Chains A and B, each alone.
Chain A
Amino acid sequence: MGGFFAAVIIAGTPLLFATIGELLTQKAGNMNLGVEGLMMMGAVCGFIAGFKTGNAGLALLGAIAAGAVGSLIYAFLTITLRANQQVTGLTLTMFGVGFAKFAGTNVMGSVLPASVKAFFTKIEIPLLSKIPYIGEIFFSQDVFVYFGYIIVLLAYLYLNKTKNGLNLRAVGENAPAADASGISVNLYKYIHVIIGGALCGLGGAYLSLVTIPVWQENVVAGRGWIAVALVIFASWKPGKAMVGAFVFGGLSILGFRLQSMGIQVSQYLIDMLPYVATVIIVIISTRKNRKEDMPPGWLTLPYFREDR
């Protein structure tokens, strides 16, 4: 059973990075539907960087850079030019998916060098990995997964315990008020949209560097959309996002486990579960109507200083 839960962590990690990335983006008041495209860009650029240099660090940097540049396009369009966020995000998805196919043409089927693969082999954390059950599941993973835990912790601390994090929330909740209190709205938006994009890129790179270290088209295969749903599922909280990413990751592989054990369940039914869960969560949270579970107030709205 521990093996199953360890696999859940691996299935959930790409979602975790992308969800935290999208969460930061949305906290800045920007809904970026380009997650799928950003993940694809991160996946392909991370792979190419790792493949050409044989250096895992550069592979990660490549993914970060790709996600950052992709989201910079989005940021410029939606923040500076105030284009419609949803439309721009959708276009970014199409762009990213196409870009990844195009850029990956020459490395199709290539295998990552052993030096990169070795960097992402499983490492048992001393002491922690010895905890029964928990150790095997959470602390016998690769460095990328541990980095994911750290990102969640940092995001939590940042959003709740730092002045900058609270400023960011103010920007997302009410941009004019934030502006009036002296926060540079556009600067905050730019920084967090770009960091969010970089995290999405890392999420995609997990798939192309760790899960499948051979370049294949469409490695992301819709996980970007799940990440968008997860942000709602998590009601914009990093801790819940982590739980959600692993629950969704688990649901995505549950069907395979059942099938391989000879239990015949329709895969369609299993595939549906994450979305059903999201719908239920949304219904529950709207019913409860708790303010802290609501989306950032200024989400999707462009901010015009002149309109104050």
Chain B
Amino acid sequence: MKKSKKLLSVLLILVMMGALFLTACGGEQGGDGKDEDVTTIGFIYIGSKTDGGYTQAQHLGTTAVEDYFGEKVKILTAENIEEEKTTVKTAAVNMISEGASIIVGTSYGFMDALEECAQEYPEVTFLHFSGNKMNDTNFGNYFGAMEEPRYLSGIIAGLKTETNKLGYVAAFPYTEVLIGINAFALGAQSVNPDVEVSVVYINSWNDPANEKIAAESLLAQGCDVIAQHCDSAGPQIAAEEKGVWAVGYNLDSRDAAPGAFLTAPIWHHDKYLVPTIEKVIGGTYVPESYYGTMQDGYVDLAEMSDLVPEEAKTKVEEIAQQMKDGTFKVFSGEIKDNQGNVVVAEGESLDRAGIWQIEYLVEGVTGRDN
């Protein structure tokens, strides 16, 4: 009797754990994937495909690849993969053993694992989102000039605000985030010199409730447009409840808070993935460090809602056109940081390398820069 109870308890625990694994590894798998004409592509995600933000935007790119190549590709996905070397390598090796010849990793922390895999599997091509490592044969990276659409969203916020106070909910203070805050502030200041931006960091990528509460604290200080560099619609919901406005991120999330949504800087990962995968399949891929811009269509601004004033729409379309023509630089001098130091001199502008050295917040922004 006692033994059977013990067995039952072990079984129940196993069932619970099994359910967890099912949800964690519920990728589209099956088939041997060794078909000559079919290229198997593995996508490794840090979150789940339906997270409503970062990974969902990535997965939109993946489905676009699937739609474009149709029968010629087989897509494998692994969700909720932690940024831990062994975990990432295991996911990649599993996919390779399923026949994958292209592995796409979509989080910065996958970098070292992918680098090692690229050495161990020279016949497989590795594409890494947001990383800065690559090699000459089978390991490249890609990212986007999110500062461009963020600048445009800043223009809208600058013209929409009535209090001249903008709020910005961000995850962590590091270069990518600082670039975005600065671009947003510069865009707003370009149309409204009196505007101030307050930043609140929540120290998490994954806490929707705190994202909302952080936005509420900004609203309490009189901010009437909330922008964000975090992944949930929390800040937009907070703005809607207060009867003011919000700029989203990652995806067009207007349904979450239709009463507040102005626009969102968004990713079009397919604009990189489709042509690049085509090259890999055709054997002409040479590793590169891709940096997609408005010009490439890789980053963009979601369709502006009816809450955006006409004046702002016109201005945004004007600057967006200049960006698409390649004549507009977001970080053009003179720019001072919020300590009063000149960081970009008059007549100069930052290129990609210069932008990615930003460790400051520009004048008119209140918040930490480290």
Which residues of A come within 8 Å of B, CB atoms? 3-4, 7, 10-11, 14, 73, 76-77, 80-83, 87-88, 91-92, 94-95, 97-99, 101-102, 104-105, 108-109, 111, 207, 211-219, 221-223, 252-253, 256-257, 259-262, 264, 266-268, 271
Contacts and interface: CB of A to CB of B under 8 A. Distances in A.
Nearest to B10: A83
A161 to B, nearest CB: 35
Given A94-B16, A95-B17, A256-B202, A211 B212 contact: yes
Interface string B20-47: 1011101000000000000000000001
Contacts of A266: 368
Contacts of B97: none
A7 B217 contact: yes
B104 to A, nearest CB: 21
Interface string B190-219: 000000001111111011111011101110
A267 B23 contact: no
B50 interface: yes
B105 to A, nearest CB: 20
Contacts of A216: 51-52, 208, 232-234
Contacts of A218: 206-208
Interface of B: 5-6, 8-9, 12-13, 16-17, 19-20, 22-24, 26, 47-48, 50-52, 56, 80, 167, 198-204, 206-210, 212-214, 216-218, 220-221, 223, 232-234, 237, 253, 255-257, 366-368
A217 B47 contact: yes
Contacts of A219: 208-209
A77 B213 contact: no
Nearest to A220: B209
A88 B366 CA distance: 46
29 contacts: A76-B12, A91-B13, A94-B17, A102-B23, A104-B50, A105-B48, A105-B50, A108-B51, A108-B52, A109-B233, A111-B255, A211-B209, A213-B237, A216-B51, A217-B47, A217-B52, A218-B207, A221-B204, A221-B206, A252-B210, A256-B213, A257-B217, A259-B198, A259-B199, A259-B200, A259-B367, A259-B368, A260-B200, A260-B218
A98 B20 contact: yes
B256 A214 contact: yes
A11 B206 contact: no
Given A73-B16, A101-B80, 14 more contacts: A3-B220, A81-B12, A101-B23, A111-B256, A211-B213, A216-B51, A221-B208, A221-B210, A256-B210, A257-B220, A259-B199, A259-B214, A259-B367, A268-B203
Contacts of A92: 16
B253 A109 contact: yes
A216 B212 CA distance: 12
Contacts, number: 155
A153 B23 CA distance: 39
Contact of B13 (A11, A88, A109, A252): A88
A80 B6 CA distance: 10
Contacts of B23: 98-99, 101-102
Contacts of A215: 52
A217 B204 CA distance: 14
Contacts of B216: 7
A87 B200 CA distance: 37
B198 A260 contact: yes
Contacts of B217: 7, 253, 256-257, 259-260
B9 A77 contact: yes
A295 to B, nearest CB: 24
Contacts of B368: 259, 264, 266
Contacts of B50: 104-105, 108-109, 217
Contacts of B6: 81
Which A-B residue pairs are the 4 nearest by beta carbons?
A98-B20, A108-B50, A216-B208, A81-B9
